[in-house]
Structure 1
């Protein structure tokens, strides 16, 4: 039986299950597993859920060096509320950042899509590769209604580049369900969410959205077309998914 077959069977088994049931299954089936957290609304909700199942669960986060102050504040609050959590902060390679910035400038990402993708690769994608080395599976806060690209994602998928399982416990949840959970469980969250920042990344690449705009409209808004940084696409540019 192949890894893809195992994952397809798991996706069928977990269809319609609650995020807590998906997390309990994942923690029970994978010894080397970690939650990837940017400390956005979905991720802090998952941290609360996972801490109630396994208080010393592993979580990693990518510190790009360009995060908002509010993001560091919520990280500190999460560490205080969940002291047993095994949080690993990943940083980009200093030499790669220095070379990129010295060659193309500190705000290179505004100049071209190619530059922005390079910056995302150096600051996010490479550190993600290091963070997932040795893992059997990783957990994300992806939801289907975040972008059109994510509509076909499943609860359990194969991360083809890393050949490990990718678990998406909130894939069927709405934005409203995430916030209902946060408020009901007194989960600390990023203060920027109260300033119309539904999706929060690096400070220079994230803005508040206007009424009626898409939830991801504040990410790389100057490009007008790309809503992914590269963390959830394969090496050939396709979105990471179990099939197709």
Structure 2
């Protein structure tokens, strides 16, 4: 019979993490789960701050990214600059070739504009399935989620159990402001995506991301042709269908 991974009692870890700095918290989790902690980066300004801690302090945390094949050239550039500056090894996960080939052949290269169903399927093929491979066999998933980005995250705990992927999730900079992130990046001379300086807040695939105009909501820059309630890609959807956009 296939074994079932049971949700751990997080209270112990939550207690241990209280009072620790972000770096100390990462060090603690890396020590508690040696070789089983992973960090997913999209090379956003938030993710670059966490990447700095991991690489500068040589933490036992594996870094991976989901290369959808439709990223901005600037994203690939900051990936390369990060790799060179910190002599970093960042594992790339890709969509399953045959599945993607069939989807594009049947629906066209920009099928995501045609319907929400097509767009979600595209996200599933390019992001969700590769994420499942990246998380497999690991115990802790570090993310760069921030509460300021969405009302859905205002009550999100820093440490939580993700039942969809059977893994502990930790959001070390959940309560950082945008200015805090920018200041950190500047102080430590961390490479970052120049699109952030041009109004891009959340940077995903190029066809599905645009700059946010003054006064617009954070999510306005993603999938702008869809209803706001549909704007999620599936990476942070739990088994109970709650969404942390």
Partner of 1:28: 31
TM-score by length of 1: 0.92
Select 1:152's aligned residue among 151, 155, 159: 155
Verify: 1:98 aligned to 2:92, yes or no. no
CA distance in 2, matches of 1:39, 1:136: 22
Answer with 6-15 or 87-96: which moved more: 6-15
CA distance in 2, matches of 1:206, 1:117: 15
1:82-231 maps to which residues of 2 (within 5 A)? 82-83=86-87, 85-225=88-228, 226-231=230-235
Verify: 1:234 aligned to 2:238, yes or no. yes
| Residues 155, 167 of structure 1: 8 Å contact kept | yes
CA distance in 2, matches of 1:16, 1:174: 19
Verify: 1:38 aligned to 2:47, yes or no. no
| Residues 109, 115 of structure 1: 8 Å contact kept | yes
Answer with 207-216 or 65-74: which moved more: 207-216
CA distance in 2, matches of 1:102, 1:163: 34
Unaligned runs of 5+ in 1: none
TM-score by length of 2: 0.91
Deviation at 1:170, TM superposition (A): 0.8
The residue matched to 2:238 in structure 1 has which SS?
coil
Partner of 1:70: 74
CA distance in 2, matches of 1:92, 1:27: 28
Deviation at 1:15, TM superposition (A): 4.5
| Residues 27, 59 of structure 2: 8 Å contact kept | no
Compared CA separation, residues 187 and 134, structure 1 to 2 (3 A):
same
Select 2:21's aligned residue among 18, 21, 33: 18
State the number of aligned residues: 239
Residues 74-124 of structure 1 show CA distances to partners (whole Å, capped at 9, x for unaligned) of 0000001111x3310001001111111111111111111111110000000
Answer with 68-77 or 43-52: which moved more: 43-52
CA distance in 2, matches of 1:231, 1:36: 11
The residue matched to 2:39 in structure 1 has which SS?
strand
| Residues 15, 155 of structure 1: 8 Å contact kept | no
Deviation at 1:228, TM superposition (A): 2.0
| Residues 144, 172 of structure 2: 8 Å contact kept | yes
Partner of 2:83: 79
Unaligned runs of 5+ in 2: none
CA distance in 1, matches of 2:130, 2:57: 27
Deviation at 1:148, TM superposition (A): 1.4
| Residues 34, 137 of structure 1: 8 Å contact kept | yes
